[in-house]
Chain A
C-alpha cells in the first residue's frame, strides 16, 4: 500500500522535530522570552539591546562549538576558561608590543590547538580521564597566567586589534563569526565522514574502532579543533573591551559546558549538535538581560538562573522519556 504524500512529508517533519528536539526547545525559549520581555519593556527589543544580547555571549557560543565536539566524543574539558584567559593575554601582549594584528589574532589559535592537542594525547594515549587532565591543566594555566603577567592588566590596545568588533550593517562582527562558524561546523559534523566519525567515537568506541576509525587519533584531533575554537573565542573576548584582565574569568568553563549541555549535547556522548549550544549561549545572554529588564530582585538573580537551568534539563529528560528512550 502506498503512503499518501502528505503523511510522508509529515513523517519527515516529525522526524526532523524529534532529531532536533532540544534545539527547537531552546529556540522556542529564546523567542518566547523576547516576546514576553518585549511587552513588559519595549526597549528590550531595541536595536542596541538586541545587538548587545546577540554579541555579548558570541565568544561563549564559539567556544561551545569546540566544547560540544569534545563532549560528543564522551570527554569533557574544564580548563577552557583558563585557556581563553591565557590566549587573550597572549593576543593582547602581541598587539601592544607592536606585532601585526593578524599575528596577534593568529598566534592564539595555534597555541590553543597545541595545548589542547597535548591534552588530547594524554587522554587518548596515556588513558588519563579527560576530567582529570583538564582539572590539572586548569590549575597550571591559572597559576601560570598570574606568574607570567604579574597580575598586570593589558591596557592601550591598538585600535586595529579591536577591529574584530567592527560592525557590518550595524551588527557587531562577533555575531557573524559565531553564526557562520556554527553553521559550518554543523554541516561539517553532519555531512563529512570525519565529522560523523566524531559521533561514532562518542556513541560506541568499540564499534567505531571495528569500523576502521582510529578512535585515539580522532580524540586528539577533536581536542585540537576545540583548541582552535577556543583561540577564536579568546580573540573575540580580548577585543570586547579596551583592557584585558590578567585573571581567568571566573566560571567561564561552567558557562560554556552548560551552553553545550542545555543545547542538547549529551554528556554520555554520541548525540547533540553545535546549533543547540550556540542557541543556548544566546539564551543565557538573553536571560541575563531579561532578568534586569524584568526588575527581578538582584539578590535572587542567581537562584532564578539556577532554576531555569534545572527546569530546562528536567524538561529535556522528560521529553526524552516520552520518546520511549531513556537518557542515552
Chain B
C-alpha cells in the first residue's frame, strides 16, 4: 500500500507539473485563454466528458473498460425527445427516466460481463453498436426540438455566475472522490482490480461491485445526455460519437492503470483539465484542428512514458 501511494503520487506530481506548465504556456499564447469567462466556458463544454470520465475511472480501476458510453449518451439523448414528445410525459419525468434508462443500459453491460463472463472490451464493443443502433431505430433519425425555456437553464444557463453543469460536475467529482478513496466500496474496487481472484477469496462481492460500477457508468452517460440536449436544444441519434476514447484518454492520462488496481479521481480531473486546456488553448494559439489532435496524442504517450521513467518499476 505504501509503495502504491508513493508511486501514484509521483505520476500525479508529474501530471500536475505538466498541467501547470501547459496552462502557463497557453496563457502566454493568447490573452483570452486564462480568463474566468473562458475557463468557466470550458467547464461547460467539458461537463459531459467529465461526468463520463469520473465513472470510467472506477471501471478502469477494476481492470475493465466501457466503450459504450458514447452510444448510451446517444440513446439517452433521443429518449429525452421520445419520452417528452412522442409519449407525452412531462419533461422533468422524461429527464429522470432518461438517466434511469442510461443506468439500465449500464446494468446490461454489467450483466453481460458478470453473468456471461464476456470480457469488458468485447461486451462493450458489442453494446456500442447495439445501443447506437437502438438510438437510430427508435428515433428513426428524427430530431425533437422545441423545448420550454427553463430546460435550457441546465445546459446553457448559469447559477451564481458559474455554468449549471459545472456545479453538477463538481459535485459529482467530489462524490466520486469520496466513494473511491474513502469507502469500503472504493477499497473493494481497488482490490478487485489488483487481483480479482484474491479479492473474491477475501470475501469481496466482486460481481455486485462490478454491476454497480457499470450501472454507474450508464447513469453518468444518461445524465450527460440530458445535459447535452439542454446545451444544444435538440436531439440527434449520433450524439456522443467518439466520447469513449476521449474518456479513456483522460482517465489513463490521469494515472489510472489500464490493468487495474490503481488510479484516483484527482488524477482523472487533472487529465481532463489538461486535455480540455490543450484543445482550447491550442485553438486560440492558432493551431488548427488536425494539429491539436496530433498534440494530444503525443502528450498522452509522452506523459505515460515520463511517469514510467520517473516512477515505478513499470507494469505487467
Direct A–B contact present (CB less than 8 angstroms): yes
- B126 touches which one: A142, A313, A327 (CB < 8 A)? A313
Contact flags (1/0) for B108-131 with A, using CB distance below 8 Å?
000010001111011101111111
Asked whether, in the complex, the Cβ of A318 is within 8 Å of the Cβ of B300, the reply is no
B1 in the interface (beta carbon within 8 A) = no
B132 in the interface (beta carbon within 8 A) = yes
A110 in the interface (beta carbon within 8 A) = no
A194 in the interface (beta carbon within 8 A) = no
B118 cross-chain contacts in A, Cβ below 8 A: 313-314, 317, 327
Asked whether, in the complex, the Cβ of B123 is within 8 Å of the Cβ of A313, the reply is yes
Q: Report the separation of the CA atoms of residues A326 and B122 in the bound assembly, to the nearest whole angstrom.
A: 16
Max chain A C-beta neighbours (<10 A), residue from B116, B127, B136, B140: B116
The answer to whether residues A139 and B294 also contact, given A302-B132, A303-B137, A321-B117 and a CB cut-off of 8 A, is yes
Nearest B-chain residue to A267, judged by Cβ: B119
Q: Report the separation of the CA atoms of residues A198 and B137 in the bound assembly, to the nearest whole angstrom.
A: 42
Q: How many residues of A contact B (CB 8 A)?
A: 49
Max chain A C-beta neighbours (<10 A), residue from B121, B136, B290: B290
Q: Report the separation of the CA atoms of residues A138 and B245 in the bound assembly, to the nearest whole angstrom.
A: 10
B290 cross-chain contacts in A, Cβ below 8 A: 142-147
A268 in the interface (beta carbon within 8 A) = yes
A282 in the interface (beta carbon within 8 A) = no
A127 in the interface (beta carbon within 8 A) = yes
CB distance from B246 to the nearest CB of A (A): 10
A-B contact count (CB 8 A): 144
A301 in the interface (beta carbon within 8 A) = yes
- A303 touches which one: B136, B259, B288 (CB < 8 A)? B136
Asked whether, in the complex, the Cβ of A128 is within 8 Å of the Cβ of B304, the reply is yes
The answer to whether residues A306 and B305 also contact, given A135-B300, A314-B116 and a CB cut-off of 8 A, is no
**A-side binding surface: helix, strand, loop or mixed?**
helix
CB distance from B269 to the nearest CB of A (A): 19
Asked whether, in the complex, the Cβ of A305 is within 8 Å of the Cβ of B112, the reply is no
Asked whether, in the complex, the Cβ of B294 is within 8 Å of the Cβ of A257, the reply is no
Q: How many residues of B contact A (CB 8 A)?
A: 49
A304 in the interface (beta carbon within 8 A) = yes
Asked whether, in the complex, the Cβ of B125 is within 8 Å of the Cβ of A144, the reply is no
Asked whether, in the complex, the Cβ of A129 is within 8 Å of the Cβ of B315, the reply is yes
Max chain A C-beta neighbours (<10 A), residue from B126, B257, B316: B126
A283 cross-chain contacts in B, Cβ below 8 A: none
Asked whether, in the complex, the Cβ of B117 is within 8 Å of the Cβ of A307, the reply is no
A137 in the interface (beta carbon within 8 A) = yes
B140 cross-chain contacts in A, Cβ below 8 A: 299
B52 cross-chain contacts in A, Cβ below 8 A: none
B300 cross-chain contacts in A, Cβ below 8 A: 132, 135-136, 139
A122 in the interface (beta carbon within 8 A) = yes
Contact flags (1/0) for B124-158 with A, using CB distance below 8 Å?
01111111111011001100000000000000000
Asked whether, in the complex, the Cβ of A131 is within 8 Å of the Cβ of B112, the reply is no
CB distance from A278 to the nearest CB of B (A): 18
CB distance from B251 to the nearest CB of A (A): 10
The answer to whether residues A143 and B117 also contact, given A126-B305, A300-B133 and a CB cut-off of 8 A, is no
Asked whether, in the complex, the Cβ of B122 is within 8 Å of the Cβ of A139, the reply is no
Asked whether, in the complex, the Cβ of B129 is within 8 Å of the Cβ of A306, the reply is yes
Chain A 187-205 interface residues, beta-carbon cutoff 8 Å to B: 205
Asked whether, in the complex, the Cβ of B298 is within 8 Å of the Cβ of A140, the reply is yes
CB distance from A288 to the nearest CB of B (A): 13
B121 cross-chain contacts in A, Cβ below 8 A: 76, 267
B90 in the interface (beta carbon within 8 A) = no
A266 cross-chain contacts in B, Cβ below 8 A: 119
- B294 touches which one: A122, A126, A140 (CB < 8 A)? A140
CB distance from B278 to the nearest CB of A (A): 11
Q: Report the separation of the CA atoms of residues A310 and B308 in the bound assembly, to the nearest whole angstrom.
A: 37
Nearest B-chain residue to A141, judged by Cβ: B297
A267 cross-chain contacts in B, Cβ below 8 A: 119, 121-122
CB distance from A174 to the nearest CB of B (A): 25
Q: Report the separation of the CA atoms of residues A140 and B316 in the bound assembly, to the nearest whole angstrom.
A: 25
Chain A to chain B: the 8 pairs with minimum beta-carbon distance, closest first: A139-B297, A303-B133, A306-B130, A306-B129, A302-B133, A143-B293, A127-B314, A143-B294
26 examples of A-B residue contacts, CB within 8 angstroms:
A76-B121, A78-B245, A122-B301, A122-B305, A128-B301, A128-B304, A129-B315, A132-B300, A136-B298, A137-B301, A139-B296, A258-B125, A267-B119, A299-B141, A300-B136, A302-B129, A306-B126, A306-B130, A306-B131, A307-B130, A307-B133, A310-B112, A310-B127, A313-B122, A317-B116, A317-B117
